[in-house]
Amino acid sequence: MTSAYVLNGPNLNLLGTREPEIYGEKTLADVERSCLDVANELGWALQFRQTNREGELVDWIQEAGRAQSAGEAVGVVLNAAAYTHTSVALQDAIVGSGARVIELHISNVHRRESFRHHSYVSPVAAGIIIGFGVAGYPLALRALAALDAS
Ligand code: CA2
């Protein structure tokens, strides 16, 4: 069965516990359930993960790229959180692995502090979903399906 990866970076385990005015009230477990509903509808297995470690995100992107090359994965929805704005290693992992990546942010980073306006992921992403709250996650899975069909 084809897998879709949804990879979440640092502090997203805190979703729903603090800063609801920015990130809403849903928890990461709620987000996983909404992704599972769409994955089931699309006939995909779901690899939904969160880590606070940059290297672990790199490992998972490489894993997704290998699975995609083997025809076993459709791509990655990546909310790299703060590493979006700092990590050359993530950009290198995306390019080096060939993983198809949809960059996702819950908040509209362009309405926030200027340090959030730059992304190392955007130039190597297939597409970007920003500012739709956690509703962006199922949208991003549907975007992966659309890209896969095109
Ligand atoms: O809007 C997004 O999805 C972000 O990727 C979230 C990151 C932030 O650094 C990016 O600029 C934009 C922060 C994730 C931390 O999430 C928390 C959620 C609830 C409480 C505290 C942190």
Nearest residue (by CA) to ligand 1, atom 9, is: 82
Distance CA(12)–CA(32), nearest Å, equals: 12
pLDDT at 107 over 90: yes
| Ligand 1 atom, smallest distance to 80 CA | 5
Q: How many CB atoms lie within 10 A of CB 1?
A: 7
Active site residues: 23, 105
pLDDT above 90 for 150: no
pLDDT band for position 144 (cuts 50, 70, 90): very high
CA distances from 42 to 4, 29, 58, 64, 65 (A): 10, 20, 26, 18, 20
User: Per-residue pLDDT for 45 more than 90?
Assistant: yes
Which residues make Cβ contacts (< 8 Å) with residue 128, sequence separation at least 6? Answer: 102, 103, 104, 122
Q: What is the pLDDT of residue 4?
A: 98
Distance (angstroms) between ligand 1 centre and the Cα of 150 equals: 31
Closest to 106 (Cα-Cα) out of 81, 130, 82: 130
Among protein residues, the one with the nearest Cα to ligand 1's atom 16 is 12
Q: Is the CB of 87 under 6 A from ligand 1?
A: no
Mean pLDDT along residues 43-70:
98
Calpha distance 130→110 (Å, rounded)? 9
Report yes or no: 134 and 31 within 8 Å, Cβ to Cβ: yes
Which atom belonging to ligand 1 lies closest to the Cα atom of 130? 1
Nearest CA to ligand 1 atom 6: 81
